[in-house]
Amino acid sequence: MHSSVFNEISLVIALGAAIALFMRALRQPLIIGHILTGILAGPTVFGLIHADASFSGLSDMGVALLLFIIGLDLSLKSFSRVGKAVFTTALVQISTITALGYASGRLLDYGKTESLVVGLGLAMSSTIIIVKLLNDKKETTRLYAQIAIGVLLLQDVVATVAKIGLAAKSHKGDTLTTLVQLGVRGISLIVLLYVLVKYVVPRLTKALERSKELLLLFSLGWGLGFALLFTKAGFSIEIGALFAGVSLAGLPYSSEMASRLKPLRDFFLVIFFITLGQTMAPGKLSQVVLPAIALSLIVIIIKPLTVLVSMGGLGYTKRASFKAAVAMSQVSEFSLVFLAAAVASGYVRDEVSATLTLTALITFAVSAYLIKYDNVLYTKLEKHLRLFERKMTMVEHRGGSTNYPIVLFGYRKGGHEFIKTFRNMEKKFVVVDYDPENIDNLERQQVNYLYGDATDPELLDELNLSKSKLVVSTIADRETNHFLAHWLNTHNPSAVFVCSSDRAEHATELYAEGAAYVMMPHYIGSEKISTFIRRNGLNKSEFKAYREKHLIDLQTHIDKHLVDPENEE
């Protein structure tokens, strides 16, 4: 048995490597190659895969590691800022597509239960494909990506409830009681995570930082362990792994965890997509091609439109709305799991199953291209996308023709101190933020603002940031500040760039990239630096002494931490 599994995995990986090289030569998405490998290795072509349970287990590990690593880079605060957009978008998108899918099923002469299964299947989007492609583009911390991931989490919750309802109907159980039990188990696991992170994990910090091998094993045990616990509680692997990652996101060694797990993640994810492909060989294709194409159009065209309308109505820019919408343009792998359960229970015929399976295959392929080339598509469709922008965001376009000597990115964390300073200096300034509540607050204060993402190059061009004298970022996100530092170093090296960081080593990196000053907790915050700006103006040379003193203090802090890690705050 051991030899058989080894032989199968070796053959499939060899086949996958050859197809991946071919896809790379054609400059095509590798995900398409992995799914194609699965189809070829499946029972309808070469029949290489027989140890289904082994491949399924390996693919589940890939799913868990992917979501765990994503969770390590996220925080509950980031989700809370886009909570309104997530709930509204998910509600509109799921209800609209489910209803449309149900109506389409009835038109195709499917039964009521079959049509409902089809509707729910079309409404769900693939967490794995979306997160994998966003991660490949290094955009998981972008505004649109956080909204998309939030919507995916709510979709997973809805899918879990639907699966419970299907199981209860099959066994004539009490759905309400099952849902209450699910909620209690979920809350219990979240409380357990909180208690462990609050009281147990800090005691392990010294040991984990001294041994890289122990850190790797702890990361695997934590991520896979909680993914398993959430699965046993009735939730999906994705939800469990993501919560496990988010719970550790604030730890000083979370980045080290992620970097050590990524090679393992990449291998297991290849197995996941191959396994997914080998299950997607629908029979009777000639009978289901046209219905599958019709359902695919709903997923590829109408589903993104619901996201565009929802986010545009909430005041998000057309770029953020478009990129989030494009990300949702496929059927979920969970839809196929739900479909298989419905077939096994006798609620769905093989013909309906084949149609939805082919729909999934079509949308997986098309969405991979849409997500990869979303910036190109946006450029071509930009004029037409203005229909989906609320008037509030038109300030963004008016701002493009004005030069602002001072630009402030982020209002929530210390931004009000800088606004007070800039007004006292009687300097023209603008605030950039993507939180609708902050925008409403700025509008009430009659502050010039632009609504958008700090990492959007098009927005920076509209700002004429290349002519600004002072750029301040109160956003503590590492990737955002690195992006701004690099952009300014390339396009406007004479500008004063003041930014924020929570960690000494990250602050040192920002200084190396040209930051004039990096604000840190417990050292100097927005209040003191704003006073310095008011007193010394916008001259970059005035920051030199401040900068040099801070670099010395940071190096002392880092050296002390290397000697005694427990001193890290």
pLDDT tens digits, one per residue of 412-449: 777 888 888 888 888 889 998 876 667 777 877 888 88
d(C-alpha 255, C-alpha 414), whole Å: 26
Q: At 498, is the secondary structure helix, strand, or coil? A: strand
Q: What is the pLDDT of residues 124-136, one digit of tens each?
A: 998 888 888 888 8
How many CB atoms are located within 10 Å of the residue 211 CB?
12
Per-residue model confidence (pLDDT) at position 550 = 59
Reference 275, options 67, 123, 128; nearest CA is: 128
Instruction: Say whether pLDDT at 297 is over 90.
Output: yes
User: Which of 73-87, 108-122, 200-214, 473-487 is predicted least confidently?
Assistant: 73-87
Per-residue model confidence (pLDDT) at position 548 = 64
Question: With contact defined as beta carbons under 8 Å apart, do 320 and 434 qualify?
Answer: yes
Backbone angles phi, psi at 472, to 5 degrees: -120, 130
Secondary structure of the chain: what % helix, strand, coil (to 5)? 75, 5, 20
Mean pLDDT across 346-373? 89
- Residue spans of the domains in the chain: they are 53-388, 401-567
Bridge partners of 500, per DSSP, are 519
* DSSP one-letter code for 520: B
Tokens 């493009």: give the residue: 400
Reference 363, options 70, 123, 202, 81; nearest CA is: 123
Report which of residues 187 and 507 the model is more confident about. 187
Q: Give how far Cα 65 sits from Cα of 58, 71, 262, 300, 303, Å.
A: 11, 10, 8, 28, 28
> Among the CATH numbers 1.20.1530.20, 1.10.760.10, 2.60.40.1180, 1.10.10.10, which is that of 53-388?
1.20.1530.20
Q: What is the pLDDT of residues 3-30, one digit of tens each?
A: 688 899 999 999 999 999 998 898 888 8
d(C-alpha 9, C-alpha 370), whole Å: 31
Per-residue model confidence (pLDDT) at position 96 = 96
Per-residue model confidence (pLDDT) at position 390 = 59
Reference 406, options 431, 382, 371; nearest CA is: 431
Per-residue model confidence (pLDDT) at position 477 = 80
What is the token pair recorded at 155? 């979709």
Per-residue model confidence (pLDDT) at position 433 = 84
Reference 498, options 487, 485, 486; nearest CA is: 485
Q: What is the pLDDT of residues 161-173, one digit of tens each?
A: 787 777 666 655 6
Mean pLDDT across 175-201? 88
Calculate what percentage of the chain has a pLDDT beyond 90: 27
What is the token pair recorded at 367? 């969405």
Amino acid, single-letter form, for residue 21: L
Reference 157, options 132, 120, 117; nearest CA is: 120
Mean pLDDT across 33-40? 88
What is the token pair recorded at 327? 């990300």
Q: Give how far Cα 255 sits from Cα of 69, 75, 520, Å.
A: 9, 13, 19
Reference 278, options 43, 59, 55; nearest CA is: 43
The secondary structure element, H or E, covering residue 433 is strand 429-433
Reference 245, options 260, 229, 224; nearest CA is: 224
Sheet architecture: strand order including 406-409:
449-451, 429-433, 406-409, 470-473, 496-500, 517-519
Per-residue model confidence (pLDDT) at position 558 = 46
Per-residue model confidence (pLDDT) at position 400 = 38
Virtual torsion, Cα 210, 212, 218, 224, nearest 10 deg: 160
Per-residue model confidence (pLDDT) at position 370 = 93
Report which of residues 226 and 208 the model is more confident about. 226
Per-residue model confidence (pLDDT) at position 191 = 94
Instruction: Say whether pLDDT at 188 is over 80.
Output: yes
Question: With contact defined as beta carbons under 8 Å apart, do 241 and 1 qualify?
Answer: no
Calculate what percentage of the chain has a pLDDT beyond 70: 83
User: Which of 86-100, 393-407, 481-495, 508-522 is predicted least confidently?
Assistant: 393-407
Reference 409, options 428, 391, 383, 434; nearest CA is: 434
Give yes or no on whether 53-388 and 401-567 have one common fold.
no
User: What Rg do the C-alpha atoms of the chain give, in angstroms?
Assistant: 25
Show Cβ contacts of residue 170 under 8 Å, excluding neighbours closer than 6 positions.
345, 347
Per-residue model confidence (pLDDT) at position 446 = 82
Question: With contact defined as beta carbons under 8 Å apart, do 94 and 157 qualify?
Answer: no
Q: Is the dihedral angle over the CA atoms 269, 270, 275, 277 positive or is it negative?
A: positive
Per-residue model confidence (pLDDT) at position 565 = 45
Res. 91 pLDDT band, cuts 50 70 90: very high
Per-residue model confidence (pLDDT) at position 539 = 60
Bridge partners of 432, per DSSP, are 409, 450
Report which of residues 2 and 176 the model is more confident about. 176
Please give the mean pLDDT across all residues of the chain: 82
Mean pLDDT across 276-280? 77
Per-residue model confidence (pLDDT) at position 561 = 45
Virtual torsion, Cα 166, 167, 170, 174, nearest 10 deg: -100
Q: Give how far Cα 118 sits from Cα of 288, 350, 368, Å.
A: 14, 13, 22
Query: What is the maximum span of the chain, computed from C-alpha positions, in angstroms?
Result: 77
Mean pLDDT across 202-210? 83
Per-residue model confidence (pLDDT) at position 567 = 45
Q: What is the pLDDT of residues 524-558, one digit of tens each?
A: 544 466 666 666 555 656 666 666 665 556 555 54
Mean pLDDT across 365-387? 87
Reference 458, options 536, 374, 526; nearest CA is: 374
> Among the CATH numbers 3.40.50.280, 3.40.50.720, 2.30.30.30, 3.20.20.10, which is that of 401-567?
3.40.50.720
Q: What is the pLDDT of residues 451-470, one digit of tens each?
A: 677 887 767 877 889 889 89
Backbone angles phi, psi at 537, to 5 degrees: 80, -155
Reference 308, options 244, 239, 390, 227; nearest CA is: 390
